Amino acid sequence: MIPKSHQNSNDPFSVYDSNYGKKRLDHKIDWEESLGNAKDPEDYYEAHNKPSSPVLFIAALVLIFAGMAFKLVNLQLVHHGQYVKLADSNHIRVQEILAPRGMIYDSQGQSLVQNVPSFELVVTPLDLPKPYDQELTNLSKFVSFDVQGLSSELAAKDPESFQPITVVPNLDHETAVLFESRQNDFPGFSIENNPIRQYTDSQIFSDILGYTGKINDSELAAYPNQNYLSNDYIGKTGVESNYERYLRGIAGQKQVQVDARGNAQSVLGEIAAQPGENLVLNIDAGLQTELYNDLVKRNNNKKAAAVAIDPRTGAVLALVSVPGYDNNLFAKGISKDDYSKLLSNPQNPLINRAISGIYPPGSTIKPVIASAALQEGVVTPEQKIVDNGDLVVGNFHFRGWKPGGLGPMDIRSAIAMSSDIYFYTVGGGQTNLGIAGLGPQRLDKYDYLFGMGQKLGIDLPGENPGIIGGPDERAARQTNPALAGWYLGDTYHISIGQGDMAVTPLQDAEWISAIANGGTLYRPFVVNKVTDSSGKVIMQNKPQIIRSNFIDPKNIEIVREGMRQTVTAGTAKSLQSLPIPAAGKTGTAQFDDANPGAAHAWFSAFAPYDNPQIAITVMIEAGGEGSTAATPVVKDALMWWAQNRYQK
């Protein structure tokens, strides 16, 4: 008996067939003999004066019965197995019911996805008459689809398979109803009603959630024992992909009686589909939305990225890439035209800039260099280096951002005022001061310790390890020996976040978090936990330390003080108006030698200063000065967080 819960015809995940429950009339073809206007036999006899003979009549009967006998032998002996199998399949069949995927929630319990019903035109190879070329052509005049593509797909499938193949996903309701009215004209084709994803605020969350799509042959081959169906959905990217094994449910089954065309006549039994398990993210939808909208509004939708992390655990609170894209297009079955537009868009919306884009970090690297210089004893905390705006090394001039210089700088003020001359000196050395500098090898060492040049293991696909930018990497990358050499000027450049160095915004946020928390680098993670339908925790992601204790806490504290001075007396004084004390570091990174004025805008900060609970990095491509382009976005985000999350 079918459970009452599955007798409701409004179930959006049940397979719909307009012929369900209706009886069909079997149409028998009657053979008739017509004698026409034959002459009377006696007249014929008299006319020809010949006796009639039954030979021809008997011969005709023999031929008829011989043909019938041959046909019976052919049916019962030669093709017996084939027709028994066909008869059985045309009588009782198991239909799979696709399972709804698990839900995805933000850290506050807000749903970021829905499962909605979708009409799909499918074809069952077993029920498709052969040859089928003309039927496909006729159907394409009624419903638009790639005839050649479907024909090729059918040719590669088992012709006796009764697993449906999706022809047109996300069919509009009107077309679905019209097809139902003409279904008998297209044997083998039918309409299914399957659950698909619908994403909330898709542009804002697309780079985190990713999207689902129809499983392809290579994916089916990659998961041979996972019970995927040929018309199933699978996570393609984002957490939809990384947590596929939790999100996908268990398909249900209906045992149905079908007619010779494969149309359901009655349901004999049903096993309900089981929805997948749910994800609870660390992502705060409110903070994510604030950062995304502010980046779009303030910077005219320029290419940009933002990452917010809890420095106490590595939990990712926000991860933004601008511009976003509509992942609902993929979930519904993206058209070639829409996909082509996305690929040809010069803003490259499909790139997740937060974890895949790499950029020179500019002055946001200086807290890392300061930590290394203190740890290696290159300078002392109180030692002064005069920034006169121009460091001369041999015949080369390395100029600071302020003509005329910033004056005497210790390590705290050098961070606060972003003194290029100071960091040129601690990185590459200054002979007349007796400072040898860290040199390229030690610069590489500490850059790596703080998370550069490596994947940090975030639970999203597509993470880029970036480039530390030192001599070893250059030699490994360059096949031309003339370009593989390393020069003193290169060391000065990477000391201020320029040159070959390239990092992701995620990596920048990670080293700021490590400085904020006193020197621990955590693995960043987006998903907090997996729960079942009752809320029971199935899997819990816990903080994982990548490395710690590589910098003396006393040295880290001095760097933290310098970042606090950035807000109180340095390049980010606009953050003084925040209701919580913050610390930060601006960055302006040149990226075009032919146009020295072209620069990416960076700003990284953490708050509250005494007990950091959030670290934020914002990067705006070709945004100009970090203090004028990126800093206001971070300030707004911290203001929102202070008003809506801090001590709530």
pLDDT-derived band at 75 (thresholds 50, 70, 90) equals low
Which of 328-337, 452-461, 478-487 holds the top average pLDDT?
452-461
Mean pLDDT of 331-358: 93
Reported as a single tens digit per residue, the pLDDT across 172-188 is 888 999 888 888 889 88
Reported as a single tens digit per residue, the pLDDT across 281-291 is 999 999 999 99
Q: What local confidence, expressed as pLDDT, does residue 84 receive?
A: 55
> What mean pLDDT, rounded, does the chain reach?
87
pLDDT-derived band at 30 (thresholds 50, 70, 90) equals very low
Which residues sit opposite 299 in a β-bridge? none
Reported as a single tens digit per residue, the pLDDT across 220-270 is 888 888 889 888 999 999 999 999 999 999 888 877 777 766 666 666 777
pLDDT-derived band at 23 (thresholds 50, 70, 90) equals very low
Least confident segment among 77-91, 223-237, 257-271, 339-353? 77-91
Cis peptide before 608 (omega within 30 of 0): yes
Q: What local confidence, expressed as pLDDT, does residue 47 receive?
A: 45
Q: What local confidence, expressed as pLDDT, does residue 64 receive?
A: 73
Q: Indicate if the pLDDT at residue 444 is higher than 70.
A: yes
Name which residue leads in pLDDT, 488 or 544: 544
Mean pLDDT of 15-20: 39
pLDDT-derived band at 433 (thresholds 50, 70, 90) equals very high
Closest CA to 190 of 212, 168, 160, 207: 168
Q: What local confidence, expressed as pLDDT, does residue 240 receive?
A: 98
CA 501, 507, 512, 518 torsion: positive or negative? negative
Share of the chain above pLDDT 90, in %: 63
Pairing status of strand 527-531 against strand 396-399: unpaired
Share of the chain above pLDDT 70, in %: 85
Q: What local confidence, expressed as pLDDT, does residue 73 receive?
A: 63
Q: Indicate if the pLDDT at residue 28 is higher than 80.
A: no
pLDDT-derived band at 10 (thresholds 50, 70, 90) equals very low
From the number of C-beta atoms within 10 Å of its C-beta (0-12, 13-18, 19+), residue 377 rates as exposed
- Residue spans of beta strands (DSSP E) within 135-188: 165-171
Which residues, other chains included, contact 150 with Cβ-Cβ below 8 Å and sequence gap of 6+? 123, 136, 165, 167
Q: Give me the CATH topology for the region 4-18+93-101+117-196+250-280.
A: Penicillin-binding protein 2a (Domain 2) (3.90.1310)
Q: What local confidence, expressed as pLDDT, does residue 180 receive?
A: 87
- Phi and psi of 558, rounded to 5°? -65, -40
Name which residue leads in pLDDT, 182 or 374: 374
Q: What local confidence, expressed as pLDDT, does residue 259 receive?
A: 72
Q: What local confidence, expressed as pLDDT, does residue 11 receive?
A: 43
In the chain, where the domains are located: 4-18+93-101+117-196+250-280, 285-644
Which residues, other chains included, contact 213 with Cβ-Cβ below 8 Å and sequence gap of 6+? 233, 234, 236, 330, 331, 333, 334
CATH of domain 285-644: 3.40.710.10
Q: How many CA atoms lie within 13 A of 628 on its CB side?
A: 5
pLDDT-derived band at 115 (thresholds 50, 70, 90) equals very high
CB 240 within 8 A of CB 102: no
Q: What local confidence, expressed as pLDDT, does residue 330 receive?
A: 93
Q: What local confidence, expressed as pLDDT, does residue 9 receive?
A: 43
Q: What local confidence, expressed as pLDDT, does residue 231 receive?
A: 86
Q: What local confidence, expressed as pLDDT, does residue 604 receive?
A: 98
Q: What local confidence, expressed as pLDDT, does residue 591 receive?
A: 86
Q: What local confidence, expressed as pLDDT, does residue 74 receive?
A: 61
Q: Indicate if the pLDDT at residue 382 is higher than 90.
A: yes
Name which residue leads in pLDDT, 162 or 356: 356
Q: Indicate if the pLDDT at residue 121 is higher than 80.
A: yes
Query: What distance in Å separates the CA atoms of residue 8 and residue 39, rounded to the nearest whole number?
Result: 68
pLDDT-derived band at 77 (thresholds 50, 70, 90) equals low
Q: Indicate if the pLDDT at residue 37 is higher than 50.
A: no
| DSSP secondary structure letters along 482-547 | GGS---HHHHHHHTTT-TT-BB-HHHHHHHHHHHHTTSEEEPPBSEEEEE-TT--EEEE----EEE
Q: Indicate if the pLDDT at residue 45 is higher than 70.
A: no
Reported as a single tens digit per residue, the pLDDT across 571-605 is 999 999 999 999 999 999 998 877 877 899 999 99
CB 377 within 8 A of CB 525: no
